[in-house]
Amino acid sequence: MTRQLIPAFAIILFLTSCSSMRPVNSKQPVIAGKGNSANTDKVQFLNDISTESTPPVLKYAAPKTQTSSKASLKEDHGSVTHAAAAVEKASATQLKYAILLDTEVESLDGDLLLDHVDEWYGTRYKLGGNSKAGIDCSAFVQAVYVSAFALTLPRTAREQYKASRIISSTELKEGDLVFFNTRGGVSHVGIYLQNNKFIHASTSQGVTVSDMYDPYYMRRFIGAGRIEKPEASNKIF
């Protein structure tokens, strides 16, 4: 009898132990807002993660070189029109000296001195000469000053230097004189025009335009001088 009750008692004990273990092994759903604080924080953290990424905003700035206002276009057009008009109205002498002086034609507009120096352009050099058959540097300067400014200068380069008011080379204006030492002392003179160019009677080329920055003349440059001119001629300078 007792042996028959032992298996039945074992079954009852096993069922009782399984029932007490069920809540521990069972999985219960976690509901947001309920349960312990650890589960709640974990759910909240997951809710804050966004699965959609926002693309960066690209800002396009047009290149400055490609943008131009109507005002600037009109200004450029006006400059081109003015330059074209100046070239159209320019005399043959102005066009010639714009090339020789490497400058714009409009900068020579109304330039009266060029007409006087151009009368002698290309005349051959002759020491002591004072005519179209041949002329030296100081005689050329003397002839131009008489015709352009009605001023009579001394005959030699040295005397013209003494008669001038010595100025800095940075003060040079059209019509000023530039002096050089080519044979000892003040021995050569020319008339400054513009853009570092001067016209003179060269021993090798006759009356021509040369550059102040030519190495030959830079080494021999002595100084610059200004002869005071009549008020009527100041507009040229």
**Active-site annotation, residues:** 137, 188, 200
- Report phi then psi at 122, rounded to 5: 90, -10
Instruction: State the DSSP H helix or E strand holding residue 46, giving kind and residue range, or none if neither.
Output: helix 37-48
Using DSSP's 3-state secondary structure scheme, residue 221 falls into strand
For the chain, the distance separating the N- and C-terminal CA atoms, rounded to the nearest angstrom, is 148
115 contacts 93 by C-beta, under 8 angstroms: yes
Closest CA to 148 of 48, 227, 70: 227
CA distances 207 to 18, 40, 154, 165, Å, are 129, 104, 19, 25
Residue 84 to residue 78: CA distance in whole angstroms:
10
200 contacts 75 by C-beta, under 8 angstroms: no
Six-digit token pair at 230? 């009549």
Residue 192 to residue 145: CA distance in whole angstroms:
12
Q: In the chain, how many H helices and how many E strands? A: 8, 8
Using DSSP's 3-state secondary structure scheme, residue 76 falls into helix
